[in-house]
């Protein structure tokens, strides 16, 4: 939807920006005092009435001014929002360190601090290129798989086996796998090994067959859809006067942030989009209540695969023009740092 009339569009933009800045309904007098070309309050009220009819504005109380609906916020974000200059913030973002947990922890903390909202970084666990795999014997029928990804993260998995494997055999398994990794994800490596068995492209010995058939790779690759969630700044929401009036909704949000699979499902929502994506209120694919907005951007590995995302979660009354470029640039820096590892 668009607003074709210039005067109506200008009044609508001013109402939204005043509301996003101060968090209170906007009256006709406020708009009248801000317009370059003076209009009577009656004329402005007529325009506001038309915008209410179009479901772009609403009045929370009979005698109150107007504030944007969810549909109005979407229109503003899509067609009228101006992106802020974030030169000072860019310098802070560029200070992120390149060790794995520092990247993710640091990015979520930074996003929270710069946005005064909840900062979130999604770092999928195994569905990203592997640098190296090692195995250690724990017990007669239990081994420890150690997987190091190209972005520096380390995952340990205890794996049961049906026959005893010696230390030298585990070294052979590690060498066998590491010769075939070359930037593959675990599911891709598992598929390649199964394909080799089926087509007899490689003279797989009994030990190699064991690692494929007896469950050394499969429990690792089956965890590829899991991931790490780094969340910072929940207390930031307590500083927002509107949020304090919605304590039940805040509790629901905090509970959702603890639900790992629910947060990871956000990756499905952004998989086919490009750049920064904005989910306003009920558009959000994760949260049950239409109270929160999410601004999120995926980051990729060196092969262009989506491996995670950076984002901000807060009330629908956000400074979208500032937060969008912050989320965008943070994702780019995280992507760059991961590529160095």
Q: What is the mean pLDDT of residues 21-26?
A: 91
Extended beta strands in the chain, E state: 57-58, 67-68, 118-124, 130-139, 142-149, 154-160, 227-232, 277-280, 292-300, 306-315
Q: Does domain 6-80 have CATH number 1.10.10.10?
A: yes
Domain segments of the chain as ranges: 6-80, 87-125+227-340, 130-221
CA torsion sign for 39, 71, 278, 290 is positive
Give the whole-angstrom CA distance, residue 225 versus residue 221: 9
How many other CB atoms are found less than 10 A from the CB of residue 273? Answer: 11
Residue 125 tokens, joined: 């666990």
Q: What's 130-221's CATH class?
A: alpha beta
pLDDT digits (tens, 9 = 90+) for 102-141: 788 899 999 999 999 999 999 865 566 788 888 888 888 8
Strand pairing report for 292-300 and 118-124: unpaired
Q: Look at residue 299 in the predicted model and tell me its pLDDT.
A: 92
pLDDT digits (tens, 9 = 90+) for 42-52: 899 999 999 99
Q: Are 312 and 117 in contact (CB under 8 A)?
A: yes
Q: With CA atoms as reference, report the closest residue to 78 among 280, 334, 254.
A: 280
Give the whole-angstrom CA distance, residue 86 versus residue 83: 9
Give the whole-angstrom CA distance, residue 116 versus residue 103: 19
Distance spanning both ends of the chain, measured CA to CA: 44
CA torsion sign for 85, 270, 289, 312 is negative
Select the CATH number that applies to the domain covering 87-125+227-340 from these four: 3.30.450.20, 3.40.50.970, 3.40.50.300, 3.30.450.40.
3.30.450.40
Coil, helix or strand at residue 55:
coil
Q: Could you identify the residue written with the tokens 């629910």?
A: 262
Q: With CA atoms as reference, report the closest residue to 269 among 293, 285, 287.
A: 285
201 CB-contact burial (10 Å; exposed 0-12 / middle 13-18 / buried 19+): exposed
pLDDT digits (tens, 9 = 90+) for 149-189: 776 677 777 777 777 878 888 888 888 888 888 778 777 77
Half-sphere exposure of 105 (CA within 13 A, CB side): 7
Asked whether residue 63 carries a pLDDT value surpassing 80, the answer given is no
Strand pairing report for 292-300 and 306-315: antiparallel
340 CB-contact burial (10 Å; exposed 0-12 / middle 13-18 / buried 19+): exposed
Q: Look at residue 67 in the predicted model and tell me its pLDDT.
A: 95
* Backbone angles phi and psi of 64, in degrees to 5: -85, 170
Helices (H) and strands (E) in the chain, counts: 15, 10
Asked whether residue 211 carries a pLDDT value surpassing 80, the answer given is no
pTM: 0.72
């Amino acid at each position: 939807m668009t607003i074709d009339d210039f005067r109506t569009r200008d009044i609508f933009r001013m109402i939204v920006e005043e509301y996003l800045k101060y968090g209170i309904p906007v009256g006709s007098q406020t708009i009248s005092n801000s317009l370059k070309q003076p209009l009577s309050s009656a004329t402005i009220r007529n325009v506001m009435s038309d915008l209410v009819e179009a479901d772009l504005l609403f009045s929370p109380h009979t005698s109150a001014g107007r504030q944007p609906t969810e549909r109005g916020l979407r229109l503003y974000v899509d067609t009228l929002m101006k992106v802020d200059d974030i030169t000072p913030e860019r310098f802070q973002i560029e200070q992120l360190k390149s060790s794995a947990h520092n990247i993710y922890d640091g990015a979520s903390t930074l996003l929270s601090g710069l946005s005064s909202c909840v900062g979130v970084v999604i770092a999928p666990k195994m569905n990203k290129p592997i640098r190296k795999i090692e195995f250690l014997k724990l017990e007669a029928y239990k081994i420890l798989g150690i997987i190091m990804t190209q972005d520096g993260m380390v995952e340990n998995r205890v794996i049961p086996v049906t026959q005893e494997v010696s230390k030298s055999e585990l070294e052979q398994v590690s060498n066998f796998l590491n010769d075939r990794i070359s930037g593959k994800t675990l599911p891709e490596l598992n598929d390649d090994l199964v394909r080799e068995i089926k087509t007899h492209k490689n003279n797989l010995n009994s030990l190699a067959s064991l690692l494929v058939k007896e469950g050394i790779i499969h429990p690792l690759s089956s965890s590829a859809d899991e991931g790490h969630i780094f969340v910072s700044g929940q207390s930031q929401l307590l500083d927002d006067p509107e949020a304090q009036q919605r304590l039940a909704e805040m509790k629901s949000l905090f509970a959702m942030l603890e639900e790992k699979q629910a947060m990871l499902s956000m990756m499905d929502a952004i998989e086919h989009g490009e750049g920064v994506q904005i989910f306003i209120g009920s558009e959000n694919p994760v949260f049950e209540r239409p109270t929160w907005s999410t601004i999120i951007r995926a980051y990729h590995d060196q092969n262009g695969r989506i491996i995670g995302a950076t984002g901000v979660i807060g009330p629908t009354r956000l400074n979208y023009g500032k937060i969008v470029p912050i989320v965008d640039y943070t994702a780019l820096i995280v992507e760059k740092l991961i590529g160095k590892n």
